Amino acid sequence: EADIYQTPRYLVIGTGKKITLECSQTMGHDKMYWYQQDPGMELHLIHYSYGVNSTEKGDLSSESTVSRIRTEHFPLTLESARPSHTSQYLCASSANPNEQFFGPGTRLTVL
């Protein structure tokens, strides 16, 4: 059973607010990822990290930022939320390229 957690599970917020989506894993994995999942289900990689103090942009441009100060924690921040940020955000981690473990996701709605 994978141990990767995301909070909150659901968030409804007004335009212009700053938000942080939390992601934590207890497996000691070096690699962590953030995906944005659109209503058509397709997954888009927006950020990834190989380890502490390492972060990279993914394939889809995003206004969000991430940090990796501790191995187990990989939060995603939006400084000023907009309706276009409404989506499902999935966090994942892995120890090797052959398997990623996913959290349950955060469904964000920006009004």
Partner 1 sequence: GNSVTQMEGPVTLSEEAFLTINCTYTATGYPSLFWYVQYPGEGLQLLLKATKADDKGSNKGFEATYRKETTSFHLEKGSVQVSDSAVYFCALSGKDTGRRALTFGSGTRLQVQP
> How far apart are CB 102 and partner 1 at their closest, in Å?
4
Q: Near partner 1 by CB under 8 A, which window of 11-19, 56-64, 68-76, 78-86?
A: 56-64
- How far apart CA 17 and CA 85 sit, in angstroms, is 12
For partner 1, the closer CB: 64 or 106: 106
Q: Name the burial class of residue 5, with classes exposed (0-12), middle (13-18) and buried (19+) by CB atoms within 10 angstroms of its CB.
A: middle
Q: Which stretch binds partner 1 (CB under 8 A): 12-20, 41-49, 63-71, 79-87?
A: 41-49
**Of the candidate residues 78, 92, 108, 110, the single one contacting partner 1 (CB under 8 A):** 92
Q: Where are the beta strands (DSSP E) in 1-111?
A: 4-7, 10-13, 19-25, 31-37, 43-51, 54-57, 65-66, 76-78, 87-96, 99-102, 106-110
- In the chain, the amino acid numbered 98 is N
- Where does this chain touch partner 1 (CB under 8 A) — which range of 14-22, 69-77, 79-87, 98-106? 98-106
> Minimum Å distance from CB 10 to partner 1?
10
Task: Say if residues 78 and 68 touch (Cβ distance below 8 Å).
Answer: no
Query: Where on the chain is the footprint of partner 1 (CB under 8 A)?
Result: 4, 6, 31, 33, 40-43, 45, 48, 50, 56, 58-59, 90, 92, 94, 97-105
